[in-house]
Amino acid sequence: MKNIENVHPALLGSLTTPGTSEKFINFSPGPTSLPTAVEEEIAAGFQKSGLTSLALSHRSPEFLSILDHAITSMRRIMAIPDDYEILFAHGGGHGQFAAVPLNLCHDKSDIATYVVNGTWTKRAAGEAEKYCTINEIDGRDPETGMYTSFPELTEENIDPESKYIYMCSNETVNGIELFRLPVLPESRKHIPLVVDASSDFTTKPVNWHGNNVGVLFACASKNIGHPGLTVAIVRKDLLGEDKASPLCPGVFNYTINAEAENLWNTAATFNIEVVGFLMDWLEREGGVVENERRSIAKSKILYDVIDNSNGFYGTPVDNHALRSRMNIPFNIDGGNEKLTNEFLIESWNKGMVGLRTLTPFGVGEYLRASLYNGVTEDDAVYLADFMKEFVHKNKAK
């Protein structure tokens, strides 16, 4: 292991600041913080007498009430039609990378089209090819090899025999987001869309029927809860034992879990309760429409600083119509390592953490500010003000 004894904690991705700042803001790409009101509600629950959801049997009437609340409130707030099941799954987003093909492709020869426009769709396609035949739509820039756009979906690049078309509505690493799901060519509209919405679920509306959404999944630990829970919203006509691969494990089988009403095995009781708290918060705060307005406002605050820095800050996605509202990658002075380290240390001292976290993909030149539900507009302003100060102090270096 590399000697890290003399490396500043901020450069190692530390999420514990020295405590000298009056602010503490978590910009981590996930897991991350929940809205303060939700965290306070969780804390208050532990002060009450009796069992908390951490200790409730998943088949007890107390937990069944919690489960029903989480499902019905999510269905109402996200306008999820009645012909969709809401399933709470284990295994995170990676679990769904396997669960999707195992549920929608009966045989290895079945074809699935994957729109690969970033890190997570590439990884999902790699997992799926174990269980089905992949038709990949490559979204890389042919000159740079980078993912900086979303490829056009045409009759030519979508195999008509596809069991589904897979995409990610927000690529967290690459900073690419679709603010509305794509409209498929007329001759391909019968193919169900599968959407990894792990990092943007609840921040914008979903046109479930209009976009022919077959499955939409989101791991909880970015916008709706804690690690260890994933919601999979599955259209009912895609269920059925005759549709799934015989290799599909029961814990990932949509049909088995729908028929068992989310109780086939022990549910993540506490995590499901937190989802219910988050849905209550979202409703009090104005629902999805108001949440989208906040997301637009938060991201604009930071992009304005980047765009008005005369090149001191850079971001890889030039197309403003695709710049992520959730995850804003930015470099400093073209990737200047010395200034980047100074930025990380000074922002850490001011109570801002998570701008660089250790990932399986290494450390690149871009930092990343993630603006999930737990980050407020004031938090975005605090970071923006620091970025302006840092430019003023260092632009002549």
Determine which one of 122, 163, 196, 333 is catalytic. Answer: 196
Q: Which residues contact 153 (CB under 8 A, 6 or more apart)?
A: 115, 137, 165, 182, 184, 185, 188
Does the annotation mark 264 as catalytic?
Answer: no
Instruction: Give the tokens for residue 350.
Output: 């001011």
Does the annotation mark 130 as catalytic?
Answer: no
How big is the CA angle at 197 (ends 143 and 13), to the nearest 5 degrees?
Answer: 75
Whether the link from the prior residue into 329 is cis, omega within 30° of 0, is no
Residue 326's Cβ-count burial label (10 Å; 0-12, 13-18, 19+) is buried
Does the annotation mark 141 as catalytic?
Answer: no
- Angstrom CA distances, 242 to 97, 103, 368, stand at 20, 10, 43
Instruction: Give the tokens for residue 238.
Output: 């895609």
CB 325, CB 332: distance < 8 Å:
no
Determine which one of 163, 222, 298, 350 is catalytic. Answer: 222
Question: For residues 285 and 277, what is the distance between their CA atoms, to the nearest angstrom?
Answer: 12
- Angstrom CA distances, 7 to 13, 91, 254, 362, stand at 11, 33, 46, 17
- Cβ–Cβ contacts within 10 Å for residue 280, how many? 17
Site of tokens 């708290």: 277
CB 355, CB 371: distance < 8 Å:
no
Catalytic residues: 120, 196, 222
